[in-house]
């Protein structure tokens, strides 16, 4: 579990052709153990913010503190899950999870077994990525991140490429993992229902330049029923925050 603080974060991309202010004065604080979702239109700086938190992008103004330490580079306390699973096709599930650690080490072997069980892939240890479904591959990617026992998990549209059924299933799996492992979670998503289903707070961003428009606390106990009246009320609130138009047709995904 980690505290995360974005303080006056500004980010501008400068190239010969253009200058784009991707983030302007972003201030955001995550409590340890908190699940925060970021939602907003394409280009509002969601991925940029996540990359900065991960230490993958260090050329920005302002500061980002994780457990009061400035983020200057990637580290094992921070796990990163991308939309595409980025598994090595030539390695088995267990070798993908172990990555640079040796499975010959009994401690590594035990931890790999534990995380495989956690993401419910027991029996698929020796399978190759091409033998797995999209949801299973994403579980391997999550297991690989959990292997390093991150204090903070950064998820960039992790289920964006999955069908609706698998996506719902993965959201439930992620909630279980979060409850059992107590990590701080920062999730980027385009899916309003996903944000309401998972998050303690939803950060609604707007673009040009990317700024925080509104932060909505979701005061619903888990498990959250997607068809309940209160869930639908939150859906309206998030849509309203995103669009500014109360009578917008709900599409639930932006």
Ligand X SMILES: Nc1ncnc2c1ncn2[C@@H]1O[C@H](COP(=O)(O)OP(=O)(O)OP(=O)(O)O)[C@@H](O)[C@H]1O
Q: Where do contacts with ligand X occur on this chain (CB under 6 A)?
A: 13, 15, 20, 22, 40, 42-48, 210
Q: Of the two residues 60 and 124, which places its CB atom closer to ligand X in the complex?
A: 60
Min CB(121)–ligand X separation in Å: 28
Q: Of the two residues 25 and 172, which places its CB atom closer to ligand X in the complex?
A: 25
Min CB(1)–ligand X separation in Å: 25
Min CB(109)–ligand X separation in Å: 37
Question: 3-state SS of 137-181?
Answer: HHHHHHHHHHHCCCCEEEEECCCCCCCHHHHHHHHHHHHHHHHHH
The CA-atom distances, in angstroms, between 185 and each of 32, 79, 191 are 9, 10, 16
Min CB(181)–ligand X separation in Å: 26
Q: Of the two residues 52 and 185, which places its CB atom closer to ligand X in the complex?
A: 52
Q: Of the two residues 32 and 43, which places its CB atom closer to ligand X in the complex?
A: 43
Q: Of the two residues 1 and 20, which places its CB atom closer to ligand X in the complex?
A: 20
Helix axes 106-118 and 134-147, enclosed angle (nearest 10): 140
Phi, then psi, of 204 in degrees rounded to 5: -95, 125
CA angle, corner 235, sides to 233 and 239, nearest 5?
120
The CA-atom distances, in angstroms, between 228 and each of 14, 108, 192 are 46, 43, 15
Min CB(42)–ligand X separation in Å: 3
Pairing of strands 152-156, 61-66: unpaired
């Amino acid at each position: 579990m980690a505290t995360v603080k974005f303080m006056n974060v500004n980010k501008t991309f400068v190239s010969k052709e253009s200058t784009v202010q991707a983030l302007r004065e972003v201030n955001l604080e995550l409590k340890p153990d908190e699940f925060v979702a970021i939602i907003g239109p394409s280009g509002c700086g969601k991925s940029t913010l996540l990359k900065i938190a991960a230490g993958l992008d260090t050329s920005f103004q302002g500061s980002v503190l994780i457990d009061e330490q400035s983020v200057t580079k990637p580290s094992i306390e921070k796990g990163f899950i991308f939309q595409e699973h980025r598994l090595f096709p030539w390695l088995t599930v267990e070798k993908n999870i172990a990555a640079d650690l040796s499975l010959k080490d009994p401690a590594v072997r035990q931890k790999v077994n534990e995380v495989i069980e956690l993401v419910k892939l027991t029996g698929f240890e020796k399978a190759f990525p091409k033998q797995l479904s999209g949801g299973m591959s994403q579980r391997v990617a999550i297991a690989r991140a959990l292997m390093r026992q991150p204090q903070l998990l950064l998820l960039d549209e992790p289920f964006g490429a999955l069908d609706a059924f698998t996506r719902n299933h993965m959201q439930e799996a992620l909630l279980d993992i979060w409850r059992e492992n107590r990590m701080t979670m920062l999730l980027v998503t385009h899916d309003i229902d996903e944000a309401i289903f998972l998050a303690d707070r939803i950060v609604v961003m707007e673009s040009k330049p990317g700024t925080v428009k509104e932060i909505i606390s979701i005061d619903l106990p888990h498990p959250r029923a997607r068809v309940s009246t209160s869930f639908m009320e939150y859906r309206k609130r998030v849509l309203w925050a995103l669009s500014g138009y109360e009578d917008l047709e709900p599409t639930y995904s932006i």
